[in-house]
Amino acid sequence: MENVTNELGTGFITELDRYLYNNGRHYEIYEKLGAHPKTYNGKQGVYFAVWAPHASQVGVVGDFNGWNPDLNPMVPLADSGIWEVFVPGVALGQLYKYSLTTPSGKILFKADPYAFHAEFRPQTASVTADLSVYTWNDHAWVKKRENQDMLSEPLSIYEVHLGSWKRKNREEKEGYYTYKEAACELAEYVKNMGYTHIELMGIAEHPYDGSWGYQVTGYYAPTSRYGTPDEFMYFVDYMHQHGIGVILDWVPAHFPKDAHGLSEFDGEACYEYADPRKGEHPDWGTKVFDYSKYEVDNFLIANALYWVEKYHIDGLRVDAVASMLYLDYGRSSGEWVKNPHGGNENLEVIEFFKHLNSVIKERGKGAVVIAEESTAWPKVTDQPENSGLGFTFKWNMGWMHDFLEYMKLDPYFRKYNHHKMTFGLTYFTCENYILVLSHDEVVHLKGSMINKMPGLLEDKFSNLKLGYTFMIGHPGKKLLFMGQDFGQFHEWDEKDSLEWYLAKEPLGEDLNNYVRDLLHLYRKFPALYNNDYIWEGFSWINANDNERSIFSFIRHGKGVRNSLLFVLNFTPVKRPDFRVGVPKPGKYTLVLDTTHGLYQEKESGVDFKSEKTPWDDQDYSIAYPLPAFGAAIFRF
């Protein structure tokens, strides 16, 4: 093979670049580090740069030089830990890695931490790519997003794992849909159902399917399982053009120990804490990022901005936030290090989140950042200037746990657990919550949503419709994992497609249509979303009817006429003489029930006139025949 010579001292990375990066403030560092097609001294090729502060020697190897570490050595840039080289003749789509010689003389071969593309697993090389080619067509969407306050907008999220949403019967790439193929079918389904956003699991490149994408080796590379970077740009663009937002799961908490990844990148602790009491997750067998290093913080914060700015992503759902905040997370006594004040809070992570969320708020053009935080850590969604972490939303894990525990009960025992459904209404204003029924709740022998429900088959479906109605009425944005909106029986398995045939079975189709009706109702009535986080948005009619397991409440809108009255019966006992108190005289129009779904405006026979009969501490009331496992929503 022809020997490929280097061009050194390029000046592509300036002294200012190095200063900003080494101080954690270079928010476009991915434009400098990594592999970038360039023309230098009249020659076309690729410029490579990598941060490897402990290495004694670094080279770039690939299919362009026979993977020979001696042919394209890199040179260090003074006092920065960065190495660079320009290699003429390297084209787009070529494979490469870095060869790093450790202080002990061992040579490591590592994928590029800033690579834009990667080989299809199980191969592990990085792939040269150019992100400047794709032409975007979602300008109207991005402009609209920039001017929206998502706290006051409807947000109903469809959580999706692309590799198992649908698969095709073909040999190529194990039957995965490509980004382009998935875009068309997924957008059609999501738009028809009425979801406002999708949340994608496992998009950043990862080596092991069973990690679901939560053990990342390529933070800047959309996984090649489904196609190229340009094809993922097309996917996001297509969603936006069809009115659908795209949220990505993002994992700044930890990374795997795979030999080609970030672990001991240059032979020593580089991206991770050196002390294993801080630098390893004993439960997960992974490494923990060292948030005390400016270069590591810069890697992650620039990565968050990269997805928002380069791929037009509408939000990031930050995984495993609690594991980052607590130094003793998953660790026993003696296995963790206290902070300088003697506590278990990771002070470096607190500052990292404040920095991250401030930058996204400043530059993200309306993009949101969502915390999967499973404890009672205060002020997760408050602003940094108020001692908050600055997230836009927080997953409401407490609500999810209480809701599922209640829904799984035999209806006879629900009267003894009434508080599980009312407790969430005592703290819903504490954070900007999203109510979640996520993938974590339908794996590992937890059972699918339909199989959590008690009773015979029809009762299971009735219970699930009732539970979803309560979820729509409860303050907070919404998230539902794929397959649970048509009653998937099997637990989710990343290796298999969803059981789509069940959506055509009578009970599955009825549930699917009902969830669609709920989602369209949710988007139609601002009372269900524009007052989510203030007390004025919700009031009980009767929170204490535990003997009959009936809940009745009102959602109040901000600056709108229509409020909504919810009545929900969580037992199989019909209440033909049911009466519910109402706050004012007038007409109460039934807009949805579990028997008929969503009523259309022109349908008759669904108006109920209030009576001057005091009930539930209200001056007026209406009588409504409440079915077994029945729910009804009235507008007034």
Residues with a known catalytic role:
319, 372
Q: 574, 626 in Cβ contact below 8 A? A: yes
270 SS3 class:
coil
Compute the C-alpha angle 403/405/409, nearest 5°. 115
Long-range contacts of 608-617 (CB under 8 A, 24+ apart): 608/634, 610/582, 610/584, 610/585, 610/586, 612/585, 613/579, 614/581, 615/579, 615/580, 615/581, 616/541, 616/542, 616/552, 616/580, 616/581, 617/581
Compute the C-alpha angle 74/224/67, nearest 5°. 30
Backbone phi, psi, residue 547, to 5°: -60, -35
Distances (CA, A) of 243 to 105, 181, 191, 434, 473: 55, 18, 8, 20, 24
Distances (CA, A) of 215 to 25, 160, 219, 318, 536: 26, 17, 10, 13, 42
One-letter amino acid for residue 111 of the chain: A
Q: 29, 299 in Cβ contact below 8 A? A: yes
The helix or strand, by DSSP H or E, that contains position 422, with its residue range, turns out to be helix 419-422
Task: Say how far apart CA 416 and CA 547 lie, in whole Å.
Answer: 8
Task: Say how far apart CA 618 and CA 610 lie, in whole Å.
Answer: 11
Q: 597, 514 in Cβ contact below 8 A? A: yes
115 SS3 class:
coil
Q: 179, 167 in Cβ contact below 8 A? A: no
431 SS3 class:
coil
- Closest C-alpha among 136, 124, 161, 135 to residue 249: 161
Q: Which class for 207: exposed (0-12), middle (13-18), buried (19 or more C-beta within 10 A)?
A: buried
Task: Say how far apart CA 176 and CA 179 lie, in whole Å.
Answer: 9
Task: Say how far apart CA 136 and CA 233 lie, in whole Å.
Answer: 8
